[in-house]
């Protein structure tokens, strides 16, 4: 499948696409900003697009391990002022939320994609997306909630079980009336998985291509990479510029490996570095055999 159909755009996935992360939160695990204002968040949107992002993902609630839920009112107050401006930037806009009320408000403002870490399992979420004529949707694998997910990491075969879950959700979403061309899936790196399991997921990622829908991956600044890069012992908010650059380098490497193994969308914080890496990758194709 080479096109992802969304509200206003048909996104050509013949080449990998870069989704820029816009966290409209004070407590994101990697780039939370207690002093964030809508103007600063909108400036981030504009900067990521200038750096080469193909689409933007806006979220108003942290999904870091152990994160507390925020109220509907708080999430709406964070997201909607930014979204009103973002939908005028001429690119696909995704709303990163598991709350049907936030999804509805975002779609009413013209958002193109619902990116749900809960895979449309919250009451009313599936019906809302199915009732929309054209929005795209990303369904992700996660056990439990961000608060509880790291206490449930017992798998017999992590890749097979993730694939089975995503296959079931694709079938449910299609049965509700959502065209297959509107669906992508995310295996949920770091969401209810250990570092070893995350790396096995990357190693065996091609097995998920059998699902028959595009694959979106989010390796950027994950704790597994922080451990590999030697910066995990420093809390994210206290990392030096050099430590952050090191983690971003690891993030680009993991995301590029994901692309090589079939991912069509990579969700990243450092858009400029990812775009540059993909340019090199595209310029040096696999040798003929």
Q: Which residues are catalytic?
A: 222, 267
The CA distance from 16 to 265, in Å, is 6
Q: At CB < 8 A and 24+ separation, what contacts does 128-134 make? A: 128/100, 128/103, 128/104, 129/103, 129/173, 129/176, 129/178, 130/173, 130/176, 130/177, 130/178, 132/7, 132/107, 134/5, 134/6, 134/7, 134/182
Give the span between the Cα atoms of 99 and 59, in whole angstroms: 11
Q: Helices marked H in 2-124 — which ranges?
A: 38-50, 72-86, 100-108
Report whether 14 contacts 54 (CB < 8 A). Answer: no
CA-to-CA distance for 174 and 154, rounded, in angstroms? 29
What are the helix (H) ranges across 176-287? 195-203, 223-229, 241-260, 271-283
Query: Structure tokens of 96?
Result: 């990163």
In whole angstroms, give the CA distance from residue 268 to residue 84: 22
């Amino acid at each position: 499948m080479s096109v992802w159909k969304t509200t206003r755009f048909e996104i050509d996935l013949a080449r990998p696409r870069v989704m820029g992360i816009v966290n409209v939160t004070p407590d994101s695990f990697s780039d939370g900003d207690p002093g964030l204002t809508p103007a600063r968040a909108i400036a981030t949107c504009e900067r990521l697009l200038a750096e080469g992002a193909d689409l933007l993902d806006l979220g108003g609630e942290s999904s870091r391990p152990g994160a507390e839920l925020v109220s509907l009112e708080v999430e709406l107050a964070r997201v909607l002022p930014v979204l009103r401006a973002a939908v005028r930037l001429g690119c696909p806009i995704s709303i990163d939320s598991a709350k049907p009320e936030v999804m509805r408000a975002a779609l009413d403002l013209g958002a193109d994609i619902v990116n749900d870490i809960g895979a449309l399992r919250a009451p009313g979420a599936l019906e809302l997306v199915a009732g929309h004529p054209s929005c795209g949707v990303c369904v992700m694998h996660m056990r439990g909630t961000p608060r509880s997910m790291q206490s449930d990491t017992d798998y017999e075969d992590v890749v097979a079980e993730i694939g089975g879950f995503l296959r079931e959700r694709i079938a449910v979403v299609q049965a509700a009336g959502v065209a297959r061309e509107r669906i992508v899936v995310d295996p949920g790196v770091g969401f209810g998985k250990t570092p070893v399991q995350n790396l096995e997921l990357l190693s065996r990622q091609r097995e998920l291509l059998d699902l028959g829908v595009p694959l979106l991956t989010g390796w950027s600044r994950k704790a597994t990479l922080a451990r590999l890069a030697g910066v995990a012992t420093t809390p994210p908010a206290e990392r030096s510029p050099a430590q952050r650059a090191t983690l971003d380098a690891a993030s680009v490497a993991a995301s590029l490996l994901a692309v090589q193994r079939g991912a069509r969308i990579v969700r990243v914080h450092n858009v400029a570095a990812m775009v540059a890496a993909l340019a090199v990758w595209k310029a040096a194709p696999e040798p003929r055999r």
